[in-house]
Structure 1
């Protein structure tokens, strides 16, 4: 009975403290945005030269890539203009078309909170205005990069604050910029705010519901990168984002998965992730995530600490990291190691 009581107390603590970067506020329950983007019904009803268009919900990215390869430039442009939200989010579609489509989609919302995403120099790989908004942005030349990394952020991130003013090298876009600067021009980095993240610290952050929905979207993203000929990616997974990566691991072709500031990956050991990727973990000495109980009970909590010896991940040096979001700060041991992992130099 005493052991059961300790487990219940630990589970209650997990509910109270597992989360992202919003401090000790209560969390608001979020509804996960899933399924194909708005406009998909009109897309399905359309044709090109009498041919049906690939179903955004069911067609594999490789088939999407083959479909676009069979179109001439005029047909491609017609689809971009008629269905920007679908083309912009269609994994397997040519990258330049997705960037162009998402500029049109952002402009069509007419919302000031998204306006900066539509700037000509932004490479927006995905944009979905539903809910709090989701976005994926590319830093570097994804079409020709020798290496590709994907930053998977944690709680309190969405399309409106994806690139908001914060401490340097924090937030999805800030982390991606810092990693690309450290890794060099041969590496492209995707800042992937592509799932509904928890808000604040509450049950959403303590359970796996949003992470499960996010894992499906992350696996689809990596399948889409493969379909357009991009190298197998490295996944950099922060805080609640590491829960997403843990659930997606077996469904991706990632070469490496790096969990940092992690509350757990919904696995007892790295082997339990059932991935061929190298698994890495980092935690700074002042990261409050160390106070989160590493327990999973009745769906609450995210399991073992990825930095523990028993978990079996490769350790990333992080002795000079400050706080929960300082892992990409220029000059830190962690950023230097991240860049080496991104470039395939650290194994």
Structure 2
């Protein structure tokens, strides 16, 4: 009798283990199928071209070091600020003339010196505009400023998604100028094309590699703004840019973080972002991004939809946005709310 009972218990345990195993395999296969859908185009994604992120110290750093100047790669933005504070005006101008590629992209350097330096390196490309960063490597990166960043009481930074680079800024500039206009010109708005974005929405857009590199650059950039005394910003993160912001959230100081048309932020919920910022989310259900599966498997997919109630974000009304890029269009409820957020006037409720 004892032997029979033991065999029956053993058989029951084996059956349970097999069922558990089959369940795990089933979940894995379902997740794999959904992740495949993300990159195969069945849910609104299309093909893209693999990109290598531009990282590291600014262009011209070797010559800067050779001149006996402190290594840009070893300085924090606060240390950069302290270094420039002790230089004479004449010495500062000398560095602008001899090392514009470094000064123009050195987080923590004085704003006016960065503008001057990038006017030299970018030439006529952005004539008449305030260029806070310009890196010609790869597809190119550029950061443009609208308004008086040094004196503005409110600052907004727009972090774009795929297909944005130094030669393709039109969509980002439209968003930045629309947001500044919606605040009556009271908010300084930064168009931050400061990282290597995906091309198209293929494997790069479904993975987090470019976003991780972008998060490091965004963290340094925002620390640089803080070092020179700029107001704490509100971040408006569009599409793949919201993945960048999600990965950077724990390390940056921002008053608000807005995920716009997001495929996910690589976090299960607001708490997982580990940020003191208020977190908002906007998505029009007619936007094609709404058809992208919010999964994460084998490094592909970005997880929970920030507009899902379980995520816990404050919801921005976006029902009248038109398409994936329509959230900053003049007259929309989303843009009006964005302006209120930028100026610190929006409350919003967690859905």
TM over 0.5: yes
The match for 1:7 is 31
Q: Which structure shows the bigger proportion of residues in helix conformation?
A: 2
- For residues 9-24 of structure 1, what are the structure 2 equivalents within 5 Å? 9-17=33-41
Q: Which residue of 2 aligns with 1:157?
A: 164
Separation (CA, whole Å) in 2 of partners of 1:69 and 1:185: 30
**SS, match of residue 57 in structure 1:** helix
In the alignment, the residues of structure 2 paired with residue 159 and residue 56 of structure 1 have an alpha-carbon distance, to the nearest angstrom, of 23
Is residue 125 of structure 1 aligned with residue 132 of structure 2?
A: yes
Q: CA RMSD in A?
A: 1.4
Inter-partner Cα distance in structure 2 for 1:36 and 1:188:
27
TM-score by length of 2: 0.90
Q: Shift of residue 55 of structure 1?
A: 2.0
Please list, as runs of the form range in 1=range in 2, the aligned pairs for 1:133-144 lying within 5 A after superposition.
Answer: 133-144=140-151
| Structural mapping, 1:39-188, within 5 Å | 39-47=60-68, 53-107=69-123, 115-117=124-126, 119=127, 121-163=128-170, 171-188=171-188
Matched pairs, number: 323
In structure 2, relative to structure 1, the CA distance for the partners of 1:125 and 1:17 (3 Å cut) is: farther
CA distance in 1, matches of 2:42, 2:150: 37
In the alignment, structure 1 segments of 5+ residues that lack a partner are 48-52, 108-114, 164-170
CA deviations on 1:264-283 (whole Å, 9 max, x unpaired) are 00000011000010000000
Confirm or deny that 1:301 pairs with 2:301: yes
d(CA) in 1 for partners of 2:276, 2:231? 15
Corresponding residue SS for 2:157: strand
> 1:37: which partner in 2?
58
Cα drift, residue 17 of structure 1: 4.3
Superposed CA offset, 1:77-97 (max 9, x none): 100000001000011111111
* Correspondence 1:251-330 to 2 at 5 A: 251-330=251-330
Counterpart-to-counterpart distance in 1, 2:71 and 2:149? 25
Is the CA contact (8 Å cut-off) linking 2:38 and 2:45 kept in structure 1? no
